[in-house]
Amino acid sequence: VYDVGEENGIYYIVMELVQGITLKHYIERKGKLDIREVLNISVQIASGMGAAHANRIIHRDIKPQNILVAVDGTIKVTDFGIARAATTNTYAADVNAMGSVHYFSPEQARGGYVNEKSDIYSLGITMYEMVTGRVPFDASSSIAIALKHLNEELPDIKQYNPNITRGLEGIIRKATQKKADERYDNIDILISDLKLAIIEAARVAKASKAEAAKE
């Protein structure tokens, strides 16, 4: 937000114009994304989340529909419409007003307490979708999907994308642990692992290229 004001009784907000599409549309257009592209996008999303978390803001609705992919490849985290300022304590979540059921955390699903780790879970689900081209939990009703977040293990990623690197798979699984205490302690640690995974993916790609050249 660049500015706010009022003119002739009409209140207005001046915001950045981002030329591009949502990450959701990007995934729908491309299907499964390349592993290195997933990592690049994820680092940018996580960095945006980190800026919010550093200011004690919990987004509470991280999902591909709220991520913009600009024409130059820049990633923007948008729509803080249900974001909340975190106090020294975590706060109760209203499951009926919070997030999108395909992406929200188990604690959001049960209407419990949420904090930065809830955003980390939603990022993990978003990363899963980028890698596989599909959401991990789906059903005919919101309640059924919420129950899957609470009770079902994350589906095997390799069955949908056998090219996923070990590092990225580990990041997604750690970010999406059912128990918040078993997830990343904070977004900065997740970013560090993503950067290591970028190095790993580059090494794997180089090895594959060398192997193809031999053939």
Which residues are part of the catalytic machinery? 61
* DSSP bridge partners of 76: 68
User: How many other CB atoms are there within 10 angstroms of residue 129's CB atom?
Assistant: 22
Q: ∠ at Cα 112 (138, 177), nearest 5°?
A: 55
For residues 66 and 86, give the distance between their C-alpha atoms in angstroms, rounded to a whole number: 20
DSSP 67: E
DSSP structure string for 73-125 = S-EEE---TT-EE--SS-EE--TTTSS-TTT--HHHHTT-EE-HHHHHHHHHH
Partnered with residue 64 across adjacent β-strands are none
Rounded distance, CA 116 to CA 53, Å?
Answer: 7
Longest CA–CA separation in the chain, Å:
72
C-alpha–C-alpha distance, residues 1 and 59, integer Å: 16
| Burial letters 2-28, b for 16+ CB under 10 A, else e | eeeeeeeeeeeeeeeeeebebbbebbe
